[in-house]
Amino acid sequence: MKRVQKRWGVMTVFAVSMLLALSSHAQQQPMYSQYMFNMMNINPAYAGSRGVTSMTALFRDQWVNMPGSPKTASVSVDMAVKQKKIGLGLQLYDDRLGVERTMGLNLAYAFRIQTSEKGTLSLGLQAGILNYRANYTELSTFQSNDPVFSQNVNGILPAAGAGIYYNSDKFYIGASMPALLKTKINNNNVADVSSASGRDLHFFVTSGFVTDINEDLVLKPSIMIKSASGAPVELDLNMNLWIKNTIAVGGSYRTGDAYVGMVEWQMNRQLRFGYAYDKTFSNLGIYNNGTHELMLRLEIGQEGSKMVSPRYF
């Protein structure tokens, strides 16, 4: 029992330290294992790429049974207009970590260039606002004499991002910087905003393709590369197998972090459901029971469409 209490004590100190580090850079990018269904979260150029009105909801409960663990929810809508030359997108999100909570709204605009019969290149911009709150007084029992914990933080911050994305019916590749601004709330609850330098920028590269094994089986590998200030470069390697274009099973490996198992169900031409489970293999793994993530996507306008069904990305 003493050993368990000691472990939780170490984790409490770790969690508090992590929260303090995050507070200096309030604009963070929530992580999703099913990133391939929510790429507008990291790349505004993805907006409108599916050619129909697409609505996606995701919920992620990370590090289950660990006090103060992250919980993230997002809802996004995107569509193509002007003969599919323009992509528009909107995303709402709610990201919680311990005493911190970030709620935000992002608007995305993508200019889409038809490069071939099936290929499109998109250039995207994103702008938004977020409300960042941190109830540090709840942690005063740990650091009663520390002035950092003597008051809460609550303020509005701007957000901006940019990206480029190319896709055909069988392949995609994209690169993005979803946080072009360096933002934080100072001790007077006033926003400090500046352009992010190269050291502070987050870079994402995503790519994937599909290949037919036979008429019933389709293999879909994908990769995401993430580079962020103060952290090692992270790779997310994914492989899914689609069976009769209805059920997909697969998994991912996230360097230094977790193994992921996932399943997708194309319920009909409009509706898709996804579930992912992360098993942490880092030192944090002994303090939690894994991560659960749910995805639901509804698409309007598929009937009569010439696109391959289902769209794999």
pLDDT 10s digits, 102-141: 999 999 999 999 999 889 999 999 999 999 888 877 765 5
The bridge status of strand 53-61 relative to strand 211-212 is unpaired
pLDDT of 176 reads 95
Please give the pLDDT value at position 275: 97
pTM recorded for the entire structure: 0.85
> Mean per-residue pLDDT for 192-212?
80
Residue 143 pLDDT = 54
31 against 163, higher pLDDT:
163
- The larger pLDDT score, comparing residue 3 to residue 126, is at 126
Identify the band that residue 201 occupies on the pLDDT scale cut at 50, 70 and 90. Answer: confident
Which pLDDT score, from 0 to 100, does residue 284 have?
Answer: 80
Assign 147 a pLDDT band (cuts: 50, 70, 90).
Answer: low
Task: Kindly report the average pLDDT of the chain as a whole number.
Answer: 83
Average pLDDT over residues 78-96: 94
pLDDT exceeds 60 at position 224: yes
Q: Which pLDDT value is given to residue 149?
A: 59
